[in-house]
Amino acid sequence: MSHRTELQDTINDLVDGHRGILAADESNPTIARRFSAVEVESSEETRRAYRQMLLSTEGLEDAIAGVILYEETLRQSDDNGVPLPQLIATRGIVPGIKVDKGKGPLPGAPGDMITYGLDGLADRLQGYREQGARFAKWREVYPVSDYNPTPLGLSANAEMLARYAAQCQNEGIVPIVEPEVLIKGDHSITRSAEVHEQVWQAVFGALQRHGVVLEYMLLKPSMVTAGQDAATAPPDQVAELTLRALRRSVPLAVPSINFLSGGQAPAEATANLNALNQRRADGLWQLSFSFARALQGPALEAWHGKTENVPEAQAALALRARLSQLAMQGKYAP
Ligand code: 13P
């Protein structure tokens, strides 16, 4: 592989033992949904203003090592004409890019989904690199039922993640591999643990078949929790079952595991990450975060599309980032 030094440098910048990743890569339909909840219209300009607000937060670099951006944001600039990727890069935050193109049903596997976007990916990655992106993200989703994910769903989704990751490493871009087991439904935490093991084992089998170098990637998984319509499991149990499933499935060559928040409330996701780090034994992977909603939620509510609310919104983001950082050390007190 010709890009080893570059990939290692990016890993060193993203995995430093005390910072996590901010996911700010909502596609246009997703950000429109988030904006409409706070009665803000989604336009190119409101999206630019919102992302500028997030990315110019003072001290963001203290707790955040990388930000996942959306394609449109990579081309946008702040009020002073500074490109948004450059705005963060100059403060020691690595710009990243979401590269998948959404999802739909997987034919032949009722109830399972599959993500689009492999065609032309190499060309797109080269373009994103020129715009400053040094890492990428691709998400596959797994709805849970008594029958899902099916064996076909497990193997097809794992193949997609592996082909994406191999392509990224070929272009000198660190892949974040994101298999998200959805929280939707009333499944038990035991069922969630079973599905997570199946998913991670299928994903790592495929990554190894495709020659992906595990030292040069990050895993962005969901936590093992009960479905959102079932009784919430306590952080200790979430941590115990998540760590057990990880130990059974994820090689130690992976440098960091950066959890998504997946619809958990900010305090819940943070408490669960904290419990994970309190139980984490020495020599295991770094256990960090790559939250979108659990970092941005309170900031978006404070912002409400108004310039005069920017300081309050930035304070809300800085607080969630700092609390998530404390959870990485197992020192978060709600
Ligand atoms: P949430 O933390 O809101 O689940 O988002 C993470 C993410 O990047 C989903 O792709």
How far apart CA 255 and CA 297 sit, in angstroms, is: 28
| Res. 2 pLDDT band, cuts 50 70 90 | confident
pLDDT tens, position by position, 219-232: 999 999 999 999 99
User: At 250, which amino acid appears?
Assistant: V
SS3 143: coil
240 CB neighbour count, 10 Å cutoff: 18
Q: Is 11 near ligand 1, meaning CB less than 6 Å away?
A: no
pLDDT tens, position by position, 180-197: 999 999 999 999 999 999
**Which burial class, exposed, middle or buried, applies to 144 when counting CB atoms under 10 A from its CB (0-12, 13-18, 19+)?**
buried
Amino acid 1: pLDDT: 67
Closest CA to 149 of 212, 83, 201, 94: 201
What percent of the chain lies above the pLDDT cut of 90?
A: 98
pLDDT of residue 315 exceeding 70: yes
| Res. 256 pLDDT band, cuts 50 70 90 | very high
Omega cis (within 30) before 251? no
Span 75-79, average pLDDT: 97
**C-alpha distances out from residue 189 to 17, 30, 224, 248, Å:** 29, 27, 7, 17
Span 107-123, average pLDDT: 98
Span 300-305, average pLDDT: 97
Phi, psi angles (nearest 5°) of residue 230: -105, 170
User: At 167, which amino acid appears?
Assistant: Q
* Residue owning tokens 């439904």: 185
Q: Do residues 65 and 94 lie in contact, with contact meaning Cβ atoms separated by under 8 Å?
A: yes
How far apart CA 151 and CA 247 sit, in angstroms, is: 22
Q: Is 98 near ligand 1, meaning CB less than 6 Å away?
A: no
Q: Is 320 near ligand 1, meaning CB less than 6 Å away?
A: no
Amino acid 154: pLDDT: 98
How far apart CA 297 and CA 222 sit, in angstroms, is: 18
| Span from the CA of 314 to the centroid of ligand 1 (angstroms) | 19
Residues facing residue 173 across a β-bridge = none
Q: Do residues 256 and 288 lie in contact, with contact meaning Cβ atoms separated by under 8 Å?
A: yes
Mutate which of 223, 225, 261 for ligand 1 pocket (most atoms within 8 A of beta carbon): 261
Atom of ligand 1 nearest to the CA of 262: 4
Span 300-323, average pLDDT: 98
Q: Do residues 285 and 252 lie in contact, with contact meaning Cβ atoms separated by under 8 Å?
A: yes
pLDDT of residue 334 exceeding 80: no
Beta strands across the sheet bearing 94-98: 20-24, 64-69, 94-98, 135-142, 174-181, 218-219, 256-259, 286-289
pLDDT of residue 139 exceeding 90: yes
| Span from the CA of 73 to the centroid of ligand 1 (angstroms) | 17
How far apart CA 262 and CA 333 sit, in angstroms, is: 21
Span 226-245, average pLDDT: 98
- ipTM for the assembly: 0.93
User: At 116, which amino acid appears?
Assistant: Y
Helices (H), the chain: 4-14, 28-37, 44-55, 60-63, 71-74, 84-89, 121-130, 151-170, 189-209, 235-249, 266-279, 293-303, 310-328
Q: Is 261 near ligand 1, meaning CB less than 6 Å away?
A: yes
Q: What is the mean pLDDT of the chain?
A: 97
For the four alpha carbons of 15, 17, 19 and 23, in that order, the dihedral sign comes to positive
pTM score, whole prediction: 0.97
Span 129-154, average pLDDT: 98
How far apart CA 181 and CA 183 sit, in angstroms, is: 7
Q: Do residues 303 and 50 lie in contact, with contact meaning Cβ atoms separated by under 8 Å?
A: yes
Q: How far is CA 284 from the centre of its chain?
A: 20
Which one of 103, 220, 306, 331 is the catalytic residue?
220
Q: Which CATH number fits domain 3-329: 3.20.20.70, 3.40.50.920, 3.40.50.620, 1.20.1250.20?
A: 3.20.20.70
Q: Is 331 a catalytic residue?
A: no
pLDDT of residue 211 exceeding 80: yes
Tell me the chain's radius of gyration from C-alpha atoms.
Answer: 19
Q: Is 294 near ligand 1, meaning CB less than 6 Å away?
A: yes
Span 301-318, average pLDDT: 97
256 CB neighbour count, 10 Å cutoff: 22
